[in-house]
Amino acid sequence: MPSISLKLSGPRNPNLGQQVMVVINQLTATVLGKQPELMATTVEYIANEDWFIAGKPLSQAGGSAFHLVISITDETNTKKEKARFLLEVHSAMKKLLPDLHDISYVYLIDARAAAYGYGGRTQEWRHQQPVV
């Protein structure tokens, strides 16, 4: 798994949302080693007048921004993998979003395995099951 939540500045754009979701999911699989069939992704849009950077709305400042939050199981990725992921996500988003602000965040939440999961089972429970 991970749970992926992405906020994009600007008006709703289903084509862009699909493109960004594909890129984020691919990077999550290739860089972080997560299974695509277990990824749950949401994309939300925040109007430029409601997105502030340095106290100014994007409607005045111009450009675009994103905020990506991904919950991953603690101790399943190295610092190096996470750093590479942040770099590659930002680089990919620069290609998809016009005039992207550097103040666009990626937040990898290292969640304890006993604290979250899916299908009514924790990640800790899955970890403890015998490999078949």
Note whether 49 and 114 are within 8 A (CB).
no
> What pTM does this model have?
0.90
Please report where in the chains the tokens 């005045």 appear, as a residue: 60
- Rounded-to-integer distance, Cα 77 and Cα 31, Å: 9
What is the chain's pLDDT, residue by residue, as a tens digit (132 residues)? Answer: 789 999 999 999 999 999 999 999 999 999 999 999 999 999 999 999 999 999 999 999 999 999 999 999 898 999 999 999 999 999 999 999 989 999 999 999 999 988 888 889 888 888 788 877
Average pLDDT, the chain: 94
pLDDT value for 14: 95
Secondary structure of residue 44 in the 3-state scheme: strand
Query: What does the block give as tokens for 83?
Result: 């750093």
- The yes/no answer on whether domain 3-128 falls in CATH 3.30.429.10 is yes
